[in-house]
Amino acid sequence: MRCSLRSFPVLLLLLLCPLLVPAAETSRQVRIGVLAWQGLEEAEVRWSTLMNQLADQLPGRALVLRHFDLAGVAAALKAGELDFVVTNPGHYVFLEAESGISRIATLVADNASDPAHVVGSAVVVLADRQDIQALADLEGRSLAAVSPDAFGGYQVAWGELRRQGLDPEQGRPKPVFTGFPMSRVVEAVLNGDADAGVLRVCLLERLERDGALRPGQLRVLSPRPGASPCQASAPLYPGWAFAAAPDTPPALSRDVLVALLALTPDAAGQSWSVPADYHPVHELLRALQIGPYAFLRETAWPSLWERYWPWVCGLVLALLAGGAYTLHVEHLVQRRTRELTQAMAARQRLEVQVREGQQQMDHLSRLSVLGELSGTLAHELNQPLATIGNYARSLLRRQDSGSLAPAALRQAAEEIASESERAAGILGGIRALARKRNRVREAHDPAVLVGDAGRLFAGMLPGVPELQVCGRCDDLRVWVDPLQIQQVLLNLFKNAWDAQQAAACGAPIQVELERAGDRCIVAVRDHGPGLAPEMQGRLFEAFFTTKPDGLGLGLSICKTIVEAHGGDLSASAPASGKGLVVRFSLPLADAGNSVVREPIR
């Protein structure tokens, strides 16, 4: 087959033709879905007039009418199968929220004058039921209705009953759903199967008009004055809505609206009006928590419990576990605190015991030093006492012989006074050392402390070598217990003397004072044999001694005393020559320091 370039567009058109024809047909179709709430047949009959009228108004358009139940409309909208929806006010409000449809017209029925007040409910009872005069009398009765989904046939009446403190949902009155058609409700009331029944507004009047019901046989409860020509027990709501799907072209919506408005009322008095305000329908559905507001029920406690009970149980269990754990921890904390308190009390008791023991040792060591020193105390005291005695006797002799010159008397008295002061000084120092006393911290000149200790040392022992004090802490004061430092110095002097005696050395014992930062260093140097290296580490051990009559406590107590003052004690070989240097540091007193006396137990 020959094919030229010129014939190509014709061929293309021929190929596309089968595809284009159905599309054009579809674009001419107007797909309308209606809610068949009373069944398909009833819907066919009900809407056929409208379809015919619309078809006349929309020449060139093919109207396709489809009937659905409540869920079917939403599904068809979702599938994009509808251009328009005709449905009751409650269902319209639901689809508006769910599928995004928007009303273009509202149905005015039964020759009502206002499209916003068309649909409603009439609650009817047998006319001779004297016991039921108003809606409030329905407490404890039964109430017939076609279906819980019927807007005018149930929901409007339900809303009104709720407003009056009743609630069919809770069985007050007990609802009896008969199903469609609505004449079944009338039958239930007439037969006595239900005390009352809910009818769509104007149905009662129509049934009476048509002869299906004897006029006056049924009575409307709590009739309200309103715009409707019929009796209603509840407020009236906007009529059925004619709504456009979200994807419907605006031009098509406009054409259909114009067509609807152009229609004349049908035989049943139905016509289409501009869209009414459906806000009251929203309020009713919200109050009943149905339709688009059904989710509100889910936040009610029972439904929350139904949905979240595993979480709630888990949370409660977690809280209980947390509480139990907290109690357990609390119990542990209390037990540990008790144990800690007991341990601390035991430790404090131990510390007191240690302190008392140390105190005791301190005292014993002072007594021991005194014991060692007082071996020759009698000899030392003998000398001043003998001198005093000699002077006293000499005075008596001269007095008796009448040769007592005033100058000689004066000299003898001065000697006696000086010797007795010397003896008293020795005894005073010994008494101070031997006494149990409170520990103190006072500011003292370190040179004075060294001098006092030296005098006591020289006063108690015969033939002690001279003490050479050099260097000063330049008018500074140390922050010390003077008697304890005297005890330390006496120990060091005594050890130095023992060492020099062992080496048969009569050289002076040297004491050097030197400032180092915020401390004063006191160094006692002798010229004895010094320390063998293996003894160096044991020098400050308690009971370490190389002396036959030694206790080995002196240096260990000195160390305790010095450390209690915040200083330290050490021994080393001198830079030159034989002997040993024992040095200790003492804190300097600063301006803020003052005398402190702490009681010793």
Length of the chain: 601
Sign for the pseudo-dihedral over CA of 543, 545, 548, 553: negative
Asked if 499 is part of the footprint of ligand ADP (rule: CB under 6 A), the reply reads yes
Asked if 550 is part of the footprint of ligand ADP (rule: CB under 6 A), the reply reads yes
Nearer to ligand ADP, 182 or 499 (CB): 499
Nearer to ligand ADP, 142 or 491 (CB): 491
Nearer to ligand ADP, 412 or 496 (CB): 496
Using CB under 6 A as the criterion, what x/- string covers residues 201-220 for binding ligand ADP? --------------------
Nearer to ligand ADP, 231 or 556 (CB): 556
Q: Single out the segment in contact with ligand ADP by CB under 6 A; choices: 136-144, 159-167, 201-209, 545-553.
A: 545-553
Nearer to ligand ADP, 523 or 555 (CB): 555
Q: Single out the segment in contact with ligand ADP by CB under 6 A; choices: 162-170, 373-381, 476-484, 493-501.
A: 493-501
Angstrom distance (rounded) from CA 459 to CA 31? 135
**What ranges in 476-539 are assigned the alpha helix state H?**
482-502, 533-536
Angstrom distance (rounded) from CA 72 to CA 130? 44
Determine the size of the site formed for ligand ADP (CB under 6 A).
20
Angstrom distance (rounded) from CA 53 to CA 36? 19
Nearer to ligand ADP, 255 or 498 (CB): 498
From candidates 43, 496, 509, 588, binder to ligand ADP by CB under 6 A: 496
- What is the residue-wise DSSP string for 433-458? HHS---EEEEEE-HHHHHHHHHHHHH
Asked if 560 is part of the footprint of ligand ADP (rule: CB under 6 A), the reply reads no
Q: Single out the segment in contact with ligand ADP by CB under 6 A; choices: 249-257, 459-467, 481-489, 541-549.
A: 541-549
Q: Supply 514's token pair.
A: 């030197």
Half-sphere exposure of 386 (CA within 13 A, CB side): 6
Instruction: Using alpha carbons only, give the angle 444, 446, 449 rounded to the nearest 5 degrees.
Output: 80
Asked if 489 is part of the footprint of ligand ADP (rule: CB under 6 A), the reply reads no
From candidates 90, 115, 291, 554, binder to ligand ADP by CB under 6 A: 554
| Neighbouring residues of 474: CB distance < 8 A, sequence distance ≥ 6 | 515
Q: Single out the segment in contact with ligand ADP by CB under 6 A; choices: 55-63, 243-251, 482-490, 537-545.
A: 537-545
Q: In what order do the strands lie in the sheet with 196-200?
A: 174-177, 142-145, 196-200, 121-126, 218-220
Q: In what order do the strands lie in the sheet with 84-87?
A: 62-68, 29-35, 84-87, 241-244, 102-108, 271-273
Nearer to ligand ADP, 35 or 373 (CB): 373
Asked if 369 is part of the footprint of ligand ADP (rule: CB under 6 A), the reply reads no
Residue nearest ligand ADP, Cβ-based? 554
Asked if 125 is part of the footprint of ligand ADP (rule: CB under 6 A), the reply reads no
Nearer to ligand ADP, 47 or 540 (CB): 540
Asked if 373 is part of the footprint of ligand ADP (rule: CB under 6 A), the reply reads no
Q: Is 470 helix (H, G, I), strand (E, B) or coil?
A: strand
Asked if 572 is part of the footprint of ligand ADP (rule: CB under 6 A), the reply reads no
CB atoms within 10 A of CB 30: 21
The residue behind tokens 């609807």 is 260
Angstrom distance (rounded) from CA 138 to CA 161? 9
Asked if 526 is part of the footprint of ligand ADP (rule: CB under 6 A), the reply reads yes
Smallest gap from Cβ 510 to ligand ADP, in A, equals 12
From candidates 552, 573, 574, 600, binder to ligand ADP by CB under 6 A: 552
Asked if 495 is part of the footprint of ligand ADP (rule: CB under 6 A), the reply reads yes
Smallest gap from Cβ 545 to ligand ADP, in A, equals 3
Nearer to ligand ADP, 47 or 544 (CB): 544
Smallest gap from Cβ 380 to ligand ADP, in A, equals 20
- What is the residue-wise DSSP string for 286-352? HHHT-GGGTHHHHTSHHHHHHHHHHHHHHHHHHHHHHHHHHHHHHHHHHHHHHHHHHHHHHHHHHHH
Cβ–Cβ < 8 Å for 580, 574: yes
Instruction: Using alpha carbons only, give the angle 272, 278, 280 rounded to the nearest 5 degrees.
Output: 130
Q: Single out the segment in contact with ligand ADP by CB under 6 A; choices: 21-29, 163-171, 263-271, 554-562.
A: 554-562
Asked if 580 is part of the footprint of ligand ADP (rule: CB under 6 A), the reply reads yes
Smallest gap from Cβ 571 to ligand ADP, in A, equals 7
Asked if 551 is part of the footprint of ligand ADP (rule: CB under 6 A), the reply reads yes
From candidates 47, 177, 180, 544, binder to ligand ADP by CB under 6 A: 544
Q: Is 487 helix (H, G, I), strand (E, B) or coil?
A: helix
Nearer to ligand ADP, 269 or 529 (CB): 529
Nearer to ligand ADP, 142 or 495 (CB): 495
Asked if 464 is part of the footprint of ligand ADP (rule: CB under 6 A), the reply reads no
Cβ–Cβ < 8 Å for 214, 98: no
Nearer to ligand ADP, 158 or 493 (CB): 493
Nearer to ligand ADP, 204 or 490 (CB): 490
Asked if 355 is part of the footprint of ligand ADP (rule: CB under 6 A), the reply reads no
Q: Supply 316's token pair.
A: 């409660």
Q: Is 260 helix (H, G, I), strand (E, B) or coil?
A: helix
Asked if 539 is part of the footprint of ligand ADP (rule: CB under 6 A), the reply reads yes
For 465-599, strand residue ranges (E) read 467-470, 478-480, 509-516, 519-526, 569-572, 580-587, 596-598
Name the DSSP class of 138.
Answer: G
Asked if 461 is part of the footprint of ligand ADP (rule: CB under 6 A), the reply reads no
Q: Whose CA is closest to 193, among 128, 255, 241, 125?
A: 125
Nearer to ligand ADP, 197 or 554 (CB): 554
Asked if 547 is part of the footprint of ligand ADP (rule: CB under 6 A), the reply reads yes
Asked if 382 is part of the footprint of ligand ADP (rule: CB under 6 A), the reply reads no
Identity of the amino acid at 502:
A
Which residue(s) pair with 597 in the sheet? 440
Nearer to ligand ADP, 28 or 547 (CB): 547
CB atoms within 10 A of CB 296: 15
Q: Which residues bind ligand ADP (CB under 6 A)?
A: 491, 495-496, 499, 526, 528, 531, 539, 544-547, 550-556, 580
